[in-house]
Amino acid sequence: MKRNEFILDVQDWERDTRRYRPDVCGAWLRICIAAHTSEPRGVVHDTVAGMTAIMGTGSDSDTHTLLTVIGERCAGKPSLGDVAYEIDATYTVTVRRMVKEETASKKKRDSLKRTRTDIIPLPAELSVIDEIVSKWAEWREYRTKELRKPMPPTTQKGQIGKLVQEFRERGQAAAVEMLKRSMDSGWTGLFTSEERGTRKAAASVKLTPIQQAEAAGSFFK
């Protein structure tokens, strides 16, 4: 999995490292870089010797000292991170902002994955008809890519229901035509012949100005 770029926000860095000595700032930067590539992202867990190598300190003693300073700073600002010295003589350093970013990124990836993989199959009576299968796939791609309208499972089920209804009542050609008409018209939904007839009839009923006035007068009586 490709990692996000390691971005150093100047304002965040200045705020997070305020009152740090230069050597502490350098150590914290190297920890952040290690946390960026760690698994899970944002958490560094290593031995004292390993932390010494990560931080570039001269000795394990210097590592202890610098991590103590960083830990004290984090204790006063929990959103920054925390430093824990484990009983097995290892350190666990958590970069809170990075963990938060990774959590948000994972939620987004999972959401996109669900959108891509939650494809409701056509019922058996339609799935054996190549023309309908092909036109349905074309419609799904048209709606999601050209119109940029997602098709969650509830939307797919509703539209498949209309497709089945049109197929049962009017046949294969009508079902294919329903899909084609929506794409040609730039619609985001599907409309059965019955629904189109109702909409057309409603649109054709127009009142004259006198009829509109009479209707409005009777409403307010």
Considering the domain architecture, whether residues 71 and 133 belong to the same structural domain is answered as no
**Residues forming beta bridges with residue 85, ordered by sequence position:** 91
Q: Return the beta strands (E) in the chain as ranges.
A: 43-47, 81-85, 90-95
Helix (H) or strand (E) holding 82: strand 81-85
Q: Is residue 106 in some structural domain?
A: no
Residue 206 pLDDT greater than 90, yes or no: no
Considering the domain architecture, whether residues 124 and 91 belong to the same structural domain is answered as no
Indicate left, alpha or beta for 3 from its phi (over 0: left) and psi (-120 to 50: alpha): beta
Q: Is residue 45 a contact partner of residue 92, using CB atoms and an 8 Å limit?
A: yes
Q: What is the pLDDT of residue 16?
A: 67
| Mean pLDDT estimate for the chain | 81
Q: What is the pLDDT of residue 115?
A: 54
pLDDT (tens digit per residue) in 136-146: 999 999 998 89
Considering the domain architecture, whether residues 124 and 55 belong to the same structural domain is answered as no
Tokens of 155: 């939307």
Considering the domain architecture, whether residues 200 and 126 belong to the same structural domain is answered as yes
Identify the band that residue 177 occupies on the pLDDT scale cut at 50, 70 and 90: very high
Q: Is residue 80 a contact partner of residue 96, using CB atoms and an 8 Å limit?
A: yes
Considering the domain architecture, whether residues 188 and 146 belong to the same structural domain is answered as yes
Q: Is residue 89 in some structural domain?
A: yes
Looking at 32-41, 44-53, 71-80, 108-117, which range is the least confident one? Answer: 108-117
Considering the domain architecture, whether residues 84 and 18 belong to the same structural domain is answered as yes
How is the beta sheet containing 90-95 ordered, strand by strand? 43-47, 90-95, 81-85
**Number of independent structural domains in the chain:** 2
Q: Is residue 20 in some structural domain?
A: yes
Considering the domain architecture, whether residues 61 and 132 belong to the same structural domain is answered as no
Helix (H) or strand (E) holding 44: strand 43-47
Considering the domain architecture, whether residues 134 and 78 belong to the same structural domain is answered as no
CA–CA dist 165, 159 (Å, integer): 10
Q: Is residue 178 in some structural domain?
A: yes
Most confidently modeled of 2-6, 104-108, 181-185? 181-185
Q: Is residue 213 in some structural domain?
A: no
**Residues forming beta bridges with residue 81, ordered by sequence position:** 95
CA 179 to chain centre: 28
Q: Is residue 217 in some structural domain?
A: no
The CATH number covering residue 53 comes to 1.10.10
Give the domain extent around 94: 10-101
Q: Is residue 220 in some structural domain?
A: no
Identify the band that residue 25 occupies on the pLDDT scale cut at 50, 70 and 90: confident
pLDDT (tens digit per residue) in 181-195: 999 999 999 998 888
Give the mean model confidence (pLDDT) for residues 19-30: 82
Domain boundary among 101, 133, 152: 101
Instruction: Please return the burial class of 163, using the count of CB atoms within 10 Å of its CB with bins 0-12, 13-18 and 19+.
Output: buried
The fraction of the chain above a pLDDT of 90, given in percent, is: 36
Considering the domain architecture, whether residues 58 and 133 belong to the same structural domain is answered as no
How many other CB atoms sit within 10 Å of the CB of residue 166? 24
Q: Is residue 209 in some structural domain?
A: no
